Chains A and B, each alone.
Chain A
């Protein structure tokens, strides 16, 4: 009798837990039709954790750096760990999370996020953090990122946030309930093959009252530097060659000073546009805000030389690397061709279309 009761209790617990899990999996947004970048964080876990260079930052890295180009030209194995408007504390915890799986030799941080000293909105927090595997790093990331109206529990049990999606469910929610949607990025890089040229001079930023970065940003930059040091990784700072958001000279000088103080390499690619060969009438898909694949390949080709000089090893010829990068290169070419076909057929590209 007692064992019957225990069995029933066990069955109840299992049924309720399974029900909870299934409902959560059903109602979590799959980011297949909107805000596709929400898949980026989780895609990292499917990669072979054999990266010598890790890029962290916002769309200025994941849309402007092509790891496949770095591999093809320099044998550099890299990954871009980014998310939309990734704030510096997101970047820190993304790095800490990645370091649980691998130890890169170089970590490249894009400094644009130094301008954001406060959580921006819940949506960007979600896009960055929901895909992270549950760990103490994720808990700390949530606590550092949460806006006042958010709750920790809604990140640990995302159904508490997304349950109201029940009347927005579509076939993808059912299709990808227990499996991942098609790989959106290639080693963390999101590709666009189309072009929308910059038609005017690059926009100039308005004068600001105060050019100083928030204390919290300096705190996290220092944490990133220390974390890299503790893990034997070289921290490299970069600023992507994009015309918006505007990167003020006053901001740049602070980064230069910090880099000099700590002996860090800092590459402001805005100063090397001509040298890189970027043409804002051909190498951008949104008037210079992000590079398209042609611009990303140019930048990566240029940057790769620097990374190699900083000690990024050439892994060509090593069997494991050749195997995993062969697949990635194939996927890269596949995505490029797929988008070019769409462009040819329809004349326009929306989002980041990829083949299944």
Chain B
């Protein structure tokens, strides 16, 4: 069952009711049961994969913690040991813990690779082989893609890496690890949470808190509004444009990119709102994943505001480790000797950025489109960094310009324009088509296509456009207000009657104007295929 279904709402209602009726010690086990039931509702065959991940991560983490505890106990019991002996002992322990870590990571990323990337990998090998010889390696048909595999694989990888680095002790209760892995609201579109952030509220006992529940329900409503009224409505037009690039070139590509930006934002943030709202109903805190990303003034800021948990995961577990990895340090030294300090400064950043964005792109999808999308982001960020001296000179000449509204607006528009262009890789079916579509904006602008007839040919009525536009304006207004503080708190202060009226109206809007039901496929959260 997806988020946009009555069954999901009934399921959550039943789970919440039981959660607060049952004795508090049964609360987190109930969440685990509910998560298993939710997972099973998709496909029982998925269980095997998430179970392997859970068990392997649990055992590896426990083993690592055990080895480290053993090491600490040994060293404490033998204060007479010399520095070299202690070092040697620690190195031996480190070798063992490293082995556990790597085995666990290889196993789980191996599963992810096998299920999600193997056919892409084989396809590329075949493309290379076919230059020389006829034969082809066969691809795999009917590969299962377990629900949320990208999310829970990364979540558990972060957990075991943290345990390896001694940031916290391994969780000794396998069922708690299972709940952390499979907590049902986070399965469809994240966030990729960290264990120490989630665990305290996930496993602790909660009493019913009326205000918390109220805010959670309001957030869920807001999420459904974005997802069902706007995202699911706009996707029709987006698909019409991108599936026929010959028919919709030029300005229609730009129009499609704008629609896609709105649709992607509403779909993803709507899903996260529902996720966080549902988690909050159980008193569980889950990380925010978006922070008004379209208000970003540069790409680096954008990625600190969009899919925050994915960005921080890659930063913490890919970027920084790569920057300080021995091979990269060697390369840095070589570059310094050969090309000077300037080059040396760049080597770790460039290497880490390229790998990070390659992986980020691949995470989004097993195709060159996504990888080039990642590389495009990398390119823009690196170029932006290279232009830092130029920016510094500019700001030195115009020290107050950062506070000027027109400058901020220009930066925001520029950032969004770049992101819209990069997102074209998301939309079109392959790389050549994407470049062709992008190029047509300059070679075949076709401004006259932006007329009523063409727009109404995309599968949306005038009323649909009006609703989507009004909805986007509302989201924009709420985002602007949000910069001053919590909108729900502000509404709360206006009193019960006002609050009831606002959310009853929101509820009515979702029910009446939602793009759901026969003819709509409500389960296709864009990010749920990850």
- Output the least CB separation between A297 and chain B (Å): 41
B6 touches A166 (CB 8 A): no
State in angstroms the CA–CA spacing of A52 and B114 once bound together: 68
Restricting to B501-528, which residues have a CB under 8 Å from any CB of A? Answer: 504, 507-508, 511-514, 516-518
Q: Decide: A163 near B517, CB < 8 A? Known: A16-B507, A19-B508, A20-B511.
A: yes
Which residues of chain B come closer than 8 Å to A122, judged between CB atoms? 518
Name the A residues within 8 Å of B463 (CB-CB): 167
Q: B4: shortest Cβ distance to chain A, in Å? A: 11
How many residues from B make CB contacts under 8 Å with A?
18
Majority secondary structure, B binding face:
helix
Alpha-carbon distance A319/B23, docked complex (angstroms):
63
Looking at the complex, which one of B210, B511, B513, B518 makes contact with A5 (CB distance below 8 Å)? B210
Bound Cα distance A149, B511 (Å) = 20
Q: Contact at B507–A8, with CB atoms within 8 Å? A: no
B7 in contact (CB, < 8 A): yes
Q: Which residue of B lies closest to A154 (CB)?
A: B517
List the B side residues contacting A159 at CB < 8 Å. Answer: 511
**Binary A-proximity of B479-515 (CB < 8 A = 1, otherwise 0):** 0000000000000000010001000100110011110
- Report the minimal beta-carbon distance from B12 to chain A, rounded to whole angstroms: 15
B40 to chain A, nearest CB (A): 19
Is A244 among interface residues, defined by CB-CB distance under 8 A? no
Does B461 lie at the interface of the complex (its beta carbon under 8 Å from any beta carbon of A)?
yes
Q: A157-B6, A160-B517 are in contact. Are A11 and B508 (CB under 8 A)?
A: no
Complex Cα–Cα for A20 and B517 (A): 16
Q: Is B210 within 8 A of A9, CB to CB?
A: yes
Residues from chain A with Cβ under 8 Å of B443 in the complex: none
Contacts A19-B504, A153-B5 hold; do A166 and B513 have CB atoms under 8 A apart? yes
Q: Nearest A residue to B510 by beta-carbon distance?
A: A163
B508 to chain A, nearest CB (A): 6
A301 to chain B, nearest CB (A): 44
Contact of A164 among B7, B496, B500, B517 (CB under 8 A): B517
Chain A residues with CB below 8 A from B507, complex form = 16, 19-20
What's the Cα separation between A349 and B513 when bound, in Å?
37
The interface residues of chain B lying within 8 Å CB-to-CB of A27 are: 512
| Chain B neighbourhood of A149, CB < 8 A | 518
Counting chain A CB atoms within 10 Å of each CB, which of B461, B500, B508, B511 scores highest?
A: B511
Size of interface on A: residues with Cβ below 8 Å to B: 24
CB distance from B209 to the nearest CB of A (A): 11
**Is A214's beta carbon under 8 Å from chain B?**
no
Q: Does A150 count as interface, using CB distance less than 8 angstroms? A: yes
The reply to whether the CB of A216 lies closer than 8 angstroms to some CB of chain B is no
CA of A159 to CA of B504 in the docked complex: distance in angstroms? 16
Q: Are A167 and B500 closer than 8 Å at their CB atoms?
A: no
* Least distance between B137 CB and chain A CB atoms (Å): 36
* Residues A163 and B511 in contact, CB atoms below 8 Å apart: yes
Tell me whether A326 is interfacial, beta carbon within 8 Å: no
Q: Is A25 an interface residue (CB 8 A)?
A: no
- Whether A167 pairs with B461 at a CB distance below 8 angstroms is yes
Residue A23, interface by CB 8 Å: yes
Q: Which residues of B contact A204 (CB under 8 A)?
A: none
Within the assembled complex, what's the spacing in Å between the Cα atoms of A122 and B519? 12
Is A336 among interface residues, defined by CB-CB distance under 8 A? Answer: no
Query: Which chain A positions have C-beta within 8 A of B5?
Result: 153
Complex Cα spacing A150 to B518, Å: 7
Do A163 and B6 touch across chains, with their CB atoms under 8 A apart?
Answer: no
Separation of A168 and B508 alpha carbons in the complex (Å): 17
Distance from B222 Cβ to chain A, minimum over Cβ atoms (Å): 15
Give bound CA distance, A15 to B507, whole Å.
11
Q: Which residues of B contact A163 (CB under 8 A)?
A: 511-514, 516-517
What separation, in Å, do the CA atoms of A157 and B516 have in the docked complex? 13
Please indicate the chain B residues that have their CB under 8 angstroms from the CB of A9 in the complex. Answer: 210
Q: What 5 pairs across the A-B complex have the smallest Cβ distances? A: A153-B6, A166-B512, A167-B463, A5-B210, A163-B512
20 A–B contact pairs at CB < 8 A?
Answer: A12-B500, A15-B500, A15-B504, A16-B504, A19-B504, A23-B508, A27-B512, A149-B518, A150-B518, A153-B6, A153-B7, A154-B517, A154-B518, A157-B6, A160-B516, A160-B517, A161-B518, A163-B512, A163-B516, A166-B513
Residues of A within 8 A of B (CB): 5, 8-9, 11-12, 15-16, 19-20, 23, 27, 122, 149-150, 153-154, 157, 159-161, 163-164, 166-167
Q: Assuming A5-B210, A15-B504, A19-B508, what are 16 further A-B pairs, CB within 8 angstroms?
A: A8-B496, A12-B500, A16-B504, A19-B507, A20-B507, A23-B512, A27-B512, A154-B518, A159-B511, A160-B6, A161-B517, A161-B518, A163-B511, A163-B513, A163-B516, A166-B512
